[in-house]
Amino acid sequence: MVKAVVLGAAGGIGQPLALLLKANPLVTELGLFDIVNTPGVAADLAHISTPAKVEGYLPADDGLKKALAGADIVVIPAGVPRKPGMTRDDLFKINAGIVKDLATGIATTAPKAFVLVISNPVNSTVPIVAEVFKKHGVYDPKRLFGVTTLDVVRASTFVAEILGNLSLSKDIIVPVVGGHSGVTIVPLLSKSTHPLPASLSTTDYEALIKRIQFGGDEVVAAKNGAGSATLSMAYAGAEFASKVIRAVNGEKGISAPSFVPLAADPAGGAVLTEELGQELEFFSSTVELGAEGVVKINPLGSLTDAEKALVKAAIPELATNIQKGSNYVIDIYKKEEDGPARL
Ligand SMILES: NC(=O)c1ccc[n+]([C@@H]2O[C@H](COP(=O)([O-])OP(=O)(O)OC[C@H]3O[C@@H](n4cnc5c(N)ncnc54)[C@H](O)[C@@H]3O)[C@@H](O)[C@H]2O)c1
Ligand SMILES: O=C(O)C[C@H](O)C(=O)O
């Protein structure tokens, strides 16, 4: 029995993601929450002949609480997407508050659920969820995930394109580490299960790295003001959710890259920290999954000089993004504790 919940379920990602979760035979209950349209989305999905019982909720009448009751896995694609010319960090102002409020709902109603954060900027929204959970005394770093799967999916597809065989893309695995924005997205092409052609020029290699790092911009530009990646994200989100659900159901040997707290690792990510040469509270690396969430965070291992340079270039922005997310919540709680300012 697995109850999956989508927060932001009526959106561009939320609807196709809910569809894919409804199609997952391991999901037996599907809770859909959004500030609009969830009754319609739920009624529509409920006619699909798969096991999941679907319910849609709006904020009225404790809808968030009802959606989250008994949740095993909560996926969060709630929030605004980018328009051309914006960075993911430009979304912080609006999305930080949305994610904080939803995280508070999870912390109070479904504190044991696995939480998969899609809302951007992921490098900051995941720390926001962590701080909310810490405040409520329910933080389990092994159960919190930033969804970076779309970067992995793009890397597989773009490498398959270069190899001239798209049908290979489902087998191609390229670890993508770091975070989820621009230079913080670090594809480790030397570790691809399918090596790039030896004849690939340095210019083409660099263009491939850039395309993986800025794949989101390609979609934002093509949608021309109508949002960012939704369908590919729903696919990626459902793939990652399915891995978490399979691991929770006892399947062994499941792993995937994800932006996770280093505290989730039994050794606190000590090897990874040594490799990075700097302490970071969160980093995306390949994580091994088990019934209780993260079992181990794999270190990066041997890298080419070009990859070492990419990792180095990612760290300052990543550290700033993480701090921004954590401070946002810490400051709010501090102000609440201090009470209203005296006149
Ligand atoms: N992690 C990734 O790889 C990745 C990929 C693509 C998009 N994203 C991000 O996902 C987010 C959603 O993108 P989208 O294209 O689906 O946007 P969208 O605008 O189509 O949908 C967002 C949904 O969130 C809902 N929402 C807003 N505030 C809410 C709240 N307080 N509670 C519940 N629902 C709320 C909206 O009503 C809307 O239905 C954006 O922040 C986007 O940047 C992340
Ligand atoms: O690019 C975006 O803003 C959405 C998402 O993070 C993506 O990588 O497609």
Q: Three-class SS string for 105-169? A: HHHHHCCCCEEEECCCCHHHHHHHHHHHHHHCCCCCHHHEEECCHHHHHHHHHHHHHHCCCHHHC
Q: What is the DSSP letter of 81?
A: P
Residue 256's SS3 state is: strand
Q: Is the pTM of this model over 0.90?
A: yes
Task: Give the closest residue to 284 by CA, choosing from 145, 174, 156.
Answer: 145
> How far is residue 65 from each of residues 102, 103, 218, measured CA to CA in Å?
10, 12, 37
State residue 105's pLDDT score. Answer: 98
Cα(106)–Cα(101) distance, integer angstroms? 9
Please indicate whether residue 180 is annotated as part of the active site: yes
Cβ 32 vs Cβ 57: under 8 Å: yes
Element housing 33 (H / E): strand 29-33
State residue 340's pLDDT score. Answer: 78
Smallest-distance ligand from the CA of 211: 2
Cα(232)–Cα(78) distance, integer angstroms? 16
Atom of ligand 1 nearest to the CA of 14: 16
Q: How many residues does the chain have?
A: 343
Cβ 208 vs Cβ 189: under 8 Å: yes
Encoding tokens for residue 185? Answer: 């997205």
- Give 157-165's long-range contacts (Cβ < 8 A, gap of 24+): 158/208, 158/211, 158/212, 158/215, 159/189, 159/192, 159/194, 159/196, 159/208, 160/194, 162/196, 162/197, 162/200, 162/204, 162/208, 163/194, 163/196, 163/197
Catalytic option among 47, 136, 180, 194: 180
Cβ(169) – ligand 2 distance below 6 Å: no
> Considering only CA atoms, which residue is closest to atom 1 of ligand 1?
118
State residue 339's pLDDT score. Answer: 87
Report which residue type is found at 149: T
Q: What is the ipTM of this complex?
A: 0.99
Cα(274)–Cα(321) distance, integer angstroms? 21
Q: How many CA atoms lie within 13 A of 283 on its CB side?
A: 33
pLDDT in tens, the chain (343 residues): 999 999 999 999 999 999 999 999 999 999 999 999 999 999 999 999 999 999 999 999 999 999 999 999 999 999 999 999 999 999 999 999 999 999 999 999 999 999 999 999 999 999 999 999 999 999 999 999 999 999 999 999 999 999 999 999 999 999 999 999 999 999 999 999 999 999 999 999 999 999 999 999 999 999 999 999 999 999 999 999 999 999 999 999 999 999 999 999 999 999 999 999 999 999 999 999 999 999 999 999 999 999 999 999 999 999 999 999 999 999 999 999 998 766 5
Residue 165: CB atoms within 10 Å:
11
Cβ 32 vs Cβ 56: under 8 Å: yes
Alpha helices in 136-279 (DSSP H): 149-162, 202-213, 215-223, 231-248, 270-276
Smallest-distance ligand from the CA of 217: 2
261 CA to middle of ligand 1, Å?
22
Cβ(5) – ligand 1 distance below 6 Å: no
Tell whether 88 is in a known binding site: yes
Q: What is the DSSP letter of 37?
A: S
Smallest-distance ligand from the CA of 123: 1
Report which residue type is found at 324: K
Terminal CA-CA length for the chain:
55
| All domains in the chain, ordered by first residue | 72-328 (3.90.110.10)
Choose one of 17, 86, 88 to mutate for the ligand 2 pocket test, by most ligand atoms within 8 angstroms of C-beta: 88
16 CA to middle of ligand 2, Å?
16
Cβ 293 vs Cβ 265: under 8 Å: no
Choose one of 117, 120, 217 to mutate for the ligand 2 pocket test, by most ligand atoms within 8 angstroms of C-beta: 120
State residue 341's pLDDT score. Answer: 67
> How far is residue 115 from each of residues 31, 129, 185, 299, measured CA to CA in Å?
14, 9, 21, 23
Residue 267: CB atoms within 10 Å:
12
